[in-house]
Amino acid sequence: MRVLLLGGTTEASHVARELAAAGIAAVFSYAGRTADPVAQPLPTRVGGFGGVDGLADYLRHERITHVIDATHPFASQISSNAIDACAQTATPLIAYVREPWVAGPDDKWQHVCSVEEAATALPDLPAKVFLGIGKQHLRAFARQSQHFYLLRLVDAPATALPLPNAEIVVARGPFTIEGDLELLRAHRITHIVARNAGGEGAKAKLDAARALGLPVIMIDRPSVPERRTAQSVDQVMRWLTQSACLGV
């Protein structure tokens, strides 16, 4: 057995530790969007594969027998490529999918389907906006230049932001509700824009928004073709064990 683990999330790191502890040959793959990724207990590669065909070639060349997709829920392109490449090479695939966040009775969420819709959902009058969307999709908000934007990023950006009035906080999760309450209050945030990533690491901003009565513009997850999924490390490891027993 030789596993390719598509990672970049806290859950992927948990799977990596289990694979290493079990002595399973595996490679951890980072997309390369973070300058200083978390060290893993597995051999690690960084960067893309070159689309579906490139990933299929990698699976063949590296004699990968199983693929675990534990990428971010919004990394839909690599997830779709993995589905197609695994089908092309007859390689078993499982995706570790976080349960999405669900609004409670005290939450003030507005659901939108894209970053562009999130930008247009902001008010016309100047607001103070916490953008919890990373640094890849900021241009949509440049057209709403009347707002102040607070960004929390893992790395400081190498180039200037497309936002004229913005502040960056460099920090890596998991975050706490106490810390996020302090952050939102200190910057007098009035609105939050978030992607429905699920999980616990970044949930604190939503708990803080609820406590402060702030509206949240929630970007729903992109669709991904049907695939086998798991919601825990144990489920992933059981799948691997069963696949090995069946010779799959």
Q: Report which secondary-structure segment, H or E, holds 167.
A: strand 166-170
Higher pLDDT, 134 or 214: 214
DSSP code, position 128: E
pLDDT in tens, 75-119: 999 999 999 999 999 999 999 998 999 999 999 999 999 999 999
Domain range list for the chain: 2-99+223-246, 108-219
- In angstroms, the CA 24 to CA 244 distance is 11
CATH assignment of 2-99+223-246, among 3.30.530.20, 3.30.1490.480, 3.30.565.10, 3.40.50.720? 3.40.50.720
CATH code of 108-219, in short, is 3.40.50.720
> What is the pTM for the complete model shown?
0.87
Is there a contact between 28 and 44 (Cβ–Cβ < 8 Å)?
A: yes
pLDDT of residue 157: 83
Higher pLDDT, 163 or 135: 163
Q: Which two tokens stand for residue 192?
A: 């939050």
Question: Strand pairing of 108-112 and 2-6?
Answer: unpaired
pLDDT of residue 248: 57
- In angstroms, the CA 61 to CA 44 distance is 16
pLDDT of residue 128: 98
Output the average pLDDT for the chain: 93
Confidence tier at 246 by pLDDT (50, 70, 90): low
- In angstroms, the CA 135 to CA 113 distance is 18
34-55 exposure pattern, b = at least 16 Cβ within 10 A, e = fewer: eeebbebebebeeeebeebeeb
Are domains 2-99+223-246 and 108-219 of this chain identical in fold? Answer: yes
Amino acid 7 reads: G
